[in-house]
Amino acid sequence: MANSTQTTSKIIKPAVILCRIVVGLTFLFSGFVKGVDPVGVAIKFKEYFVALGIDILTPSSPLGADFVSTFSISAAIGLSMFEFVLGAVILFGLYRKLAPTLAVLTMLFMTPLTLYLAIENPVHDCGCFGEALVLTNWETFYKNLVLTVAAIFLLLYNHKVRDMYLKSIRWIPSLFSIIYVLTISLIAYVYQPLLDFRPYKSGINIREVMAQEDVQPEYIFVYEKDGLRQEFAIDEAPINDESWTFVDRIERMPEGVEEKIELDFGVRDNDVDITDDILSDDNYTFLLLVPSVEGYDNSWDDKILSLYDYAFEHTYNFYALTPDAEELSNRLSEMGISFPCYTMDETVIETIARGNPAIAMLKGGILYWKIAPRELIDMSQYDSDIQGTPLGEIYEHDFLKRTIIILLIYILPLIFLYLCQEAVVLLVERVKAKRLKLKENSNNTNYKPKKIKTMRKNIVAGNWKMNNTLQEGVELAKGVEAALNERTPNCDVIIGTPFIHLATIAATVDTKKLGVSAENCADKVSGAYTGEVSAAMVASTGAEYVILGHSERRAYYGETAEILKEKVLLALANNLKVIFCIGEVLEEREAGKEFEVVKSQIEESLFNLTAEDWSKIILAYEPVWAIGTGKTATAEQAQEMHAFIRKTVAEKYGEEVAEETSILYGGSCKPSNAKELFANKDVDGGLIGGASLDVEQFMGIVDAF
């Protein structure tokens, strides 16, 4: 059975990692390319709404052009952030339940939608990867099927593999991912995309590319003979020679012709096509690109007019391209501006350059550059020809270099955080502690409980009692540690072991992840007390905690309040943290004395401590009548007693100290009832007996948080 479980685990863990990579990278890439070009995503949104007959984002929207623009851009940026951050947290294994849940919900929405798109084909492609990678609607549907299966698998088994980052700082890579993708989105919106996946890249010769669109590919036939392969032109293929075997047919563009790029660059002056006139003109030609006259942003008119005046002085061309040339011409005339306006398809204008308006420059069919008006320099300061200005050069778009830089900006900080995460955790904890101390100093004693932000720890502590040989105990401790390494628990986990186990287990496990506790210590410093173990001896083993006042010690060994007071003082003097047990027996509860008994146990053994010493005390309420009997206090009974205990502490040390005190429940807590018990606001965990001797049961209680 154990071997079968180990084999299954060996299969599941690599599968989880693979699914994290597939789902995470897909969402990351999808969010990234959308973030690089949010205007392109907004255009795709409009295309969807037009195709589906929904006029909210169409030019005829009753809500107006401003709303359409704001809504579509906001939705595009929001979608890119959602996909990118979700991909990041899945890839890094963060939020191991929430992230797969969101991925599954997303895919359950997207997969039926893409099936509809594949069947009805209302749009050419879904645009899931923008213009970086164009998939057919059927390819997108099949891709979504794979992602859906992988996301469901992660939802079931993601907890089997631990996070890349510690839980206390997982918000840092998440926040960094949000800031990163938001930044590149805003840069693309305000200026131009940092990476250009569109066909109209700076430096392209539009005229040559369009001339190549009619060039047909050559077909090369591959045949094999005597183990050797040879290529033949179509008219040279050995079709009738049976000694040759056909292998493949290759489609190849003629030499000197690049891969075909479809461009729809077309300009009309009323009904006259003037595309070739513009592309063949060897003079510098400035283009004012206005995809929508209604949404035209005239705040940059001064810069545009400066460029027009410069072009006029140096006899350069200056044209405005827009879907409705007459409307734009009339609007410009109202503002006292007059230059030629020609007609071009809105989608082509938006494909060339994002923004409304945008500026581009051609010469001999070569696209020199395309920019947002805010990037346009003040041309009034230049008297020379354009070659002597920054606008006279082709803005080379080094795609590979830009991609490497943009990715490194994201990857390097995450690698640094991963390597230094423990130091970062310590720094964060110090900052929190400093803020808490300042808060304590400023609030004095008039602190209202309902306004206190609770900082107390959730704790699950195991109490092995007198069980397990040394070898069995070490194996159990290793099992608990291994199980913790597969999770990111929302609580501190402690194991309380017999004295004989302490030194070995404390040296075997990572005590930063798994606390080690003694089950008792003597009320004497040292001396002739045969069989006793002092607090100093416990501390010397590497243990950090000690359990004191357990009902079995009180009942079987006659430990009184005074004895326990001495034990607590000696434990604290040796820097041990004390898990102090309190609780009533059945007769006391039936007599209605449970609150009186518990209060006296706390007062008589602990209320001599200072507030500073109290910070090292963890209380454990154990209704004695529920220990080992199969009975359990109801969630309401547990909450009632825990609230009373906290109130008792508040009366002595103040409400703020009481709110910082962890109070555990210790009466037959099991995986089946732990979640309900821990849901109570004053129950901060459990002191677990029998269930702590089984890794699976113990982890079931840990997982209740």
Q: Which residues contact 665 (CB under 8 A, 6 or more apart)?
A: 620, 621, 622, 633, 638, 642, 677, 683, 685, 686, 687
At 590, is the secondary structure helix, strand, or coil? helix
Residues 517 and 621: their CA atoms lie apart, in Å, by: 17
The candidate with the shortest Cα–Cα distance to 72, out of 58, 62, 83, 85, is 58
Count of alpha carbons within 13 Å of 570, Cβ hemisphere only? 23
Q: How many helices (H) and strands (E) does the chain have?
A: 25, 18
Give the H or E element holding residue 49: helix 38-51
Residues 671 and 392: their CA atoms lie apart, in Å, by: 73
- Token pair belonging to 638: 């547990």
Residues 454 and 448: their CA atoms lie apart, in Å, by: 12
Q: What does the CA dihedral 489, 490, 495, 496 come to, rounded to 10 degrees?
A: -170
The candidate with the shortest Cα–Cα distance to 461, out of 680, 672, 159, 669, is 669
At 621, is the secondary structure helix, strand, or coil? strand
Residue with tokens 């729809």: 264
- Is the CB of residue 550 less than 8 Å from the CB of residue 578? no
Distance of CA 46 to the CA centre of its chain: 28
Give the H or E element holding residue 547: strand 545-548
Q: Which of 47, 622, 655, 656 is catalytic?
A: 622
Confirm whether 676 is a catalytic residue: no
The candidate with the shortest Cα–Cα distance to 704, out of 453, 473, 493, 480, is 493
Q: Which residues pair with 685 in a beta bridge?
A: 459
- Using left for φ > 0, alpha for ψ between -120 and 50, and beta otherwise, residue 377 falls in beta
- Token pair belonging to 682: 């004053």
Q: Cis check for the bond before 357: say yes or no (omega within 30 of 0).
A: yes
At 268, is the secondary structure helix, strand, or coil? strand
**DSSP secondary structure code for residue 217 in this structure:** P
At 650, is the secondary structure helix, strand, or coil? helix
Q: What does the CA dihedral 556, 560, 561, 566 come to, rounded to 10 degrees?
A: -100
- Token pair belonging to 666: 């210790």
Q: Which of 550, 552, 642, 655 is catalytic?
A: 550
Let me know if 675 is exposed, middle or buried by CB neighbors in 10 A (0-12, 13-18, 19+). Answer: middle
- Token pair belonging to 106: 């997303």
- Is the CB of residue 195 less than 8 Å from the CB of residue 403? yes
Residues 533 and 511: their CA atoms lie apart, in Å, by: 21
Q: Which residues pair with 362 in a beta bridge?
A: 285, 367
The strands making up 341-343's β-sheet, listed across from edge to edge, are: 272-273, 268-269, 341-343, 317-322, 285-289, 358-363, 366-371
**Reduced 3-state DSSP string for 498-543:** CHHHHHHHHHHCCCCCCEEEECCCCCCCCCCCCCCCCHHHHHHCCC
The b-or-e profile of 462-480 (16+ CB within 10 A means b, else e) is bbbbeebeeeebbebbeeb
Confirm whether 642 is a catalytic residue: no
Q: Could you give the residue numbers annotated as active site? A: 550, 622
